[in-house]
Amino acid sequence: MNGVQLLLIAGAGIAIAAVARRKGLEPGMFIVILAAAASFVPGMPRLELESEVILAIVVPPLLYSAARGASFSGFRRHLRPIVSLGVILVVLTAGALGLIAGWLLPSIGAAAFVLGAVLAPPDTITTVSHGEEIGLPERATSVLTGESLVNDATALTLFSIAVAAVNGEHATFAGGVQEFARSAFLGVAIGALLSAATLLIRRWLRHATLETALVLLLPFTAFLAAEAAHVSGILAVVAASFLVSVNLSLDPNHEYPGAYRARVRENEVWPVLDFLLETFVFAYIGLQLRFVLEDLAESEEPGLSRTLLAGGVLLVAAIVLRLAGVYGLFGRWMLRARMTSRRLERDPAYRAAFERRYSGRRARPLDPPTQRETLLVGWTGMRGILTLAAAAAIPETTASGAPFPGRDAIQAIALIVTLGTLVIQGTTVGALARALTFDLAGERAAREAARAAGRALLAGRDFDDQRMAVRIAMRDGTLSEEVARELIDEIDLRQAAGSTPM
């Protein structure tokens, strides 16, 4: 791949995204479809990158950007559904899809579970990024945001284990669980250490351009350092992003003269980088279609027709498993909540213990999702960036030097399932959200009331005192983290624009 091709991909992506947004459509879906069509243009060269480059360059900054906009308190508040969807459901989906793939494509052997891991994680962050346009309620948005930060790590850990099994390394279920726990814990630890170092260096730099450059390097550093230690690079990136963004916005110990300039600069840079990277991945995998199909047509096993059939079956299976899994996990939550409610009604001792447990500042258990929320979350199973990037990152050969079994078939099926879910679910999730008639007007009114209450704290203060007032209010529970961060961003913009304080 040369520089001219990269420029053409970026330029075409900008034009396609502009047209798609004007039509109210998902740009990623259009880019993949048009790139796939363009691959059949006579003379179109095959674009090739080393498999490791895709995951090392594309995934870290996209995850970092998604995590920096997420609420840490919201993540903690919705930890139960996030773990259910981002860990349990991804593991079950990967296993089920791997078994189906092994039955449909017996010639690829253990690589069927590589395919299962590739197809398992939905790209819920893309759904969340269009949450207002789609009409997502707040709780669904929080759960899907948190899920997107966990399910990628789960899927990539499963992906690594499955690739190791194909390479002949001994792998068991118990060993996989142990490896996941070790990988997750050490990945978070590495991310935390690098975030602490970044915060110290930023305070010393005190220059918006240099600070932004440092933070742009952080996701790559966290990912590569963790991968070099054979632990979760994804969770290292997520931990680093959470800790840096929360501390810089909400911790007064990390405030210094001119710090607002770096925050404003970052808020401008990350959306541009996100767009360019997403455009590249969608276009890159789409442009592989013709060549992957040609390779499959020339191979005896699994062959083109069997691969296309498997792709169709796995597309349906991915959609059904997402719906069934969400209903199963959330249904169990609803059942336990009903049992708890009944016990509280008939058992005074249990009710007294329950009230004592939650009498202080400890948050009460969340109510289970409603049937409407369950259906909406179940329908947000579109595959996207990670599925395409992981498929592209499958090595060409095994450790023995033999061709990786079913590599072309896995990449073709990843493209089929991604395109299929984007078309089937991506184009209908907005209509579904509107049909379910969530009380979005009430949510918007509540958010605006919270912002107004926050702004009332700022009157008559200078910029630094405004930030301190917001941080104290958040610490005391008067303001939520989401509203506090919005107000900090607003104060930063006003100061950068040279406006007077409120």
Q: Is the pLDDT of residue 268 over 80?
A: yes
Q: Say how many residues make up the chain.
A: 502
Question: What's the whole-number mean pLDDT along residues 243-250?
Answer: 82
Lowest-confidence segment of 34-38, 119-123, 130-134, 230-234 by average pLDDT: 130-134
Q: SS3 for 476?
A: coil
403 phi and psi, to 5 degrees?
-60, 140
Of 328, 429, 333, nearest to 376 by C-alpha is 429
Q: What is the pLDDT of residues 172-210, one digit of tens each?
A: 666 667 777 888 889 999 999 999 999 889 888 888 889
Q: What is the pLDDT of residues 11-35, one digit of tens each?
A: 777 887 777 777 766 677 778 788 8
Out of 6-10, 270-274, 324-328, the most confident range is 324-328
The residue whose two tokens read 């083109």 is 304
| pLDDT band of 262, cuts 50, 70, 90 | confident
CB 211 within 8 A of CB 205: yes
| pLDDT band of 160, cuts 50, 70, 90 | confident
Question: Structure tokens of 141?
Answer: 């948005």
The pLDDT, as a whole number, for residue 285 is 72
Q: Which domains does the chain have, with CATH numbers?
A: 3-177+268-431 (1.20.1530), 442-496 (no CATH)
Question: Structure tokens of 283?
Answer: 């276009």
DSSP state of 26: -
The pLDDT, as a whole number, for residue 92 is 93
Q: What is the pLDDT of residues 409-455, one digit of tens each?
A: 898 899 889 888 888 888 788 888 888 887 777 777 877 888 888 78
Lowest-confidence segment of 41-45, 157-161, 361-365 by average pLDDT: 361-365
Q: Is the pLDDT of residue 85 over 60?
A: yes
Sign of CA dihedral 486, 492, 494, 499: positive
CA angle (362, 363, 366) in 5-degree steps: 155
The pLDDT, as a whole number, for residue 345 is 82
Separation between Cα atoms, residue 158 and residue 180, nearest integer Å = 8
Q: Is the pLDDT of residue 321 over 90?
A: yes
The pLDDT, as a whole number, for residue 363 is 61
CB 328 within 8 A of CB 380: no
Question: What's the whole-number mean pLDDT along residues 269-283?
Answer: 83
